Structure 1
């Protein structure tokens, strides 16, 4: 996983409509909070996404754009986005997964996808990173909100 204070990687992802989304597209205008869902079927991850939805207005007021990264196909991501009523862009990778781009590979004998959060400031610098193998540890609301206020 990345380290706080390091430049954000140039991530080229794809939204559920097939449009290219680059992390650098937000540089100079908005901070970005990327939440990496372990799987769209993960109930803990779905609760975390619902928390982000409830916090959406506060994050927008703090000039933070939320992006949700999923390790599944674009079609599966689109169906999940509609079912969960996710107002944020939901992103996949054209090859591999968004998770692999930031070092969130599979753990526990290659079977458990990691989840985590990444906050990148308006200048493209990583200000917060958090990851976990178990889904209950993949999202730290207090840590994210504290990092948003500090940047």
Structure 2
């Protein structure tokens, strides 16, 4: 049964395998362990809002890494499209392809704007695979970056789940 809302704080990240660079399979859970994951779902490579969001994450990427996190972007675009998008905007983080929408469904990322656009949701997932926060907004793209970095920094300082929110 499909989720009707995004994963919430305290829920386990689903075990999904997506297509990465070179069309290689990437199991999202395999990225857990040593780092917190910032998993962001976005509508489309090279669209205005998605480019602003990706470049915002790029510009803060070293801050995410310093705080012990890895950033992973997911959209329905192909791995080849992601490769071009990453090259054009010098994106240092992982982009994964969810062409069949299975990860979107597992994470509960529903379409927005009358179902015309894929949703935009960012999840912060701790090292154990537990969602610590989810933020959904199609238009407040900068808030996705600010909010997730703030939480990652709190988690790196050993904040408890309630205090980290």
Say yes or no: TM over 0.5: yes
TM-score with structure 2 setting the length: 0.81
TM-score with structure 1 setting the length: 0.88
Q: 1:94 to 1:140 in 2, by over 3 A?
A: closer
Moved more, 117-126 or 86-95: 86-95
Encode CA deviations 1:102-132: one digit per residue, 9 max, x unaligned: 1112233321221111111111111111112
Partner of residue 82 from structure 1, selected from 56, 77, 87: 87
Structure 2 portions without partners, runs of 5+: 1-5, 156-165
* Number of residue equivalences: 150
Structure 1 portions without partners, runs of 5+: none
Give the structure with the larger strand fraction: 1
Give the structure with the larger helix fraction: 2
Partner of residue 16 from structure 1, selected from 2, 14, 21: 21
What is the CA–CA distance in structure 2 between the aligned matches of 1:149 and 1:43, rounded to whole Å?
Answer: 28
Give the aligned CA root-mean-square deviation in angstroms.
Answer: 1.9
Give the secondary-structure state (helix, strand or coil) at the position aligned to 1:69. Answer: strand
Q: Does 1:150 align with 2:154?
A: yes
Q: Is the 8 A contact 2:82 2:95 kept in 1?
A: yes
